[in-house]
Chains A and B, each alone.
Chain A
Amino acid sequence: MKGRVSAFTIIHVAGSDSVSVPYGIAVIEGTTRLLARVEQPTQLTIGADVEFEAHDLFGWIVTNT
């Protein structure tokens, strides 16, 4: 699915020491608003068009920036 990033952050302190940081969280405006995990966050900016898909653990994950 495709959508546009309307807000974005790169998280450096997670809620568990076992979680690898940094990772990104993007607010994506598509057919609906959703939040998706971004595993390669440095390439993403607000206003960017992205592709994302469902993910077992994170709910949604950005697959193409």
Chain B
Amino acid sequence: VSTPRVAIAGCSLTPFGRADGSSIVDLAAHAAEGALQASKASPGDVDAIYLSTFASAVLGGQNFPAAVLASRIGATPIPAIAVEGACASGSVALKQAINLIRSGGAEAVLVVGAEKMTHRDTSAVTAALAQGTDVTSGGFRAGLTFPGFFALLASAYLRRYDIQRADLASVAVKNRRHGARNPLAHFQSLVTAEEVLASRPIAEPLNLLDCSPISDGAAAIVVATLEWARAHVAVPVEVLACEQSSGPASAEEIDDFTSLSAAREAARRAFQEAGVAPSDIDVAEVHDCFSIAEAIALEDVGLFERGTALAATGEGETSFGGRVLVNPSGGLLSKGHPIGATGVAQIIEIAQQLRGVAHTQAPDPELGLTHNVGGTGGLGSVTILGRAA
């Protein structure tokens, strides 16, 4: 029996930003129903639901969210499972769905990612996010926040490669430019490098505009066998590889503060599985939770050589007309970062790019990549998508 090929069928996402009056399950249900509709399917047509969320209980006040979602959208009695992998939760859910399909346990699976965050104040969200690490670690005890962790990476990176702080601003400027064309993005306005550098410090050297916002939102896809997808959508997008690796779960375990080992390993496995090279990638959505994170991501997945991603970004190599289009959705910096939804939303953006229907469309892309990281690099996930032949 051959392993079935897996594809992305229908996709849907809510606007990212403030969703006052909506619960996390309201958001998840809205996206889920949209993805089913886009797949010309009903809840009875899928075999399982995976819901990714990082802090549904801590921030959203909702434990047991997968079962509540299944009940809400009329999907009972199929299995409904919540998964959590910090900021990589969405990719973890996708990987589980793919495993289930490839094992023959399902033909079609609904993957939903959601988070509800904006109703809590910044310190409460910062405290919740900081728990995406080993809470017995020295860094956690010393008061290391997530902006603080990525600021440590930034300080080490800038020093190693002798790069000026001002060069980091090019990432936020580019992603806000892309996001300005995305009607679902949290931020749809341009910023200048001067504004990035003048914004208030969060964790030096990172300023406010180097940081992704606290967002509400949900994203959903139907993942299915290629056969099922062909019967339900006009242009299925094939999953050529979806690889996930683990890495240091606390900052003091990291040997090199200019790279995240789990992402490197996930990328190595994904390119091997897909049988393509980084130079074949036309468009990528990478985990730019902070400006420095995009530079490190581009180097960890092999799209750029070590120490060169910021210069390349400043020279336009990661925007339209450049070597590879990076974060056309606006990325986390502009589109927003509702934690559990992020990995699923990245897949949707690349699927829409390959279908030629994205808001900020790359010229005729054939291969796309997503890179999603959780915690202090404790999880890394890389997925490679292509047009279904």
Q: Which residues of A contact B (CB under 8 A)?
A: 6-17, 19, 22-23, 25, 27, 33-37, 46-47, 57-61
Contact = CB atoms under 8 A, between A and B. Distances in A.
Contacts of B159: 46-47
Interface stretch (B65-73, B201-209, B276-284, B343-351): B201-209
Contacts of A46: 155-156, 159
Interface residues of B, number: 33
B145 A13 contact: yes
Contacts of A9: 148, 151-152, 154-155, 203-206
A58 B143 contact: yes
Interface string B114-137: 000000011100110010000001
Contact of B156 (A6, A13, A36): A6
Interface of B: 121-123, 126-127, 130, 137-139, 141-145, 147-148, 151-156, 159, 200-206, 251-252, 257
17 contacts: A7-B156, A9-B148, A9-B203, A9-B206, A11-B151, A11-B202, A12-B200, A13-B122, A13-B126, A13-B202, A15-B123, A15-B145, A25-B148, A35-B144, A57-B141, A58-B141, A59-B142
A47 B123 CA distance: 31
Contact of B145 (A6, A8, A11, A17): A11
Contacts of B141: 57-59
| Residue of A9, A13, A17, A46 ringed by the most chain B CB atoms within 10 A | A9
A36 B142 CA distance: 6
A35 B156 contact: no
Contact of B143 (A11, A27, A33, A34): A11
B142 A58 contact: yes
Given A15-B127, A25-B143, A58-B141, 5 more contacts: A8-B152, A12-B203, A13-B203, A27-B251, A37-B142
A37 B114 CA distance: 34
Nearest to A47: B159
Contacts of B143: 11, 14-15, 19, 23, 25, 37, 58
Nearest to A36: B142
A48 B205 CA distance: 17
Contacts of B139: 25, 35
Nearest to A5: B155
Shortest beta-carbon contacts, A-B, top 9: A15-B127, A9-B151, A59-B141, A35-B139, A7-B152, A7-B156, A10-B204, A59-B138, A37-B142
A6 B145 CA distance: 18
Contacts of A8: 152, 155
B123 A35 contact: no
Given A9-B203, A25-B143, A60-B142, A16 B127 contact: yes
A23 B203 CA distance: 10
Nearest to B151: A9
A65 B159 CA distance: 19
Contacts of B122: 13
A3 to B, nearest CB: 12
A7 B205 CA distance: 11
Nearest to B257: A7
Contacts of A14: 123, 126, 143, 145
A10 B200 CA distance: 13
Contact of B123 (A16, A27, A57, A61): A16
| Residue of A14, A36, A37 ringed by the most chain B CB atoms within 10 A | A14
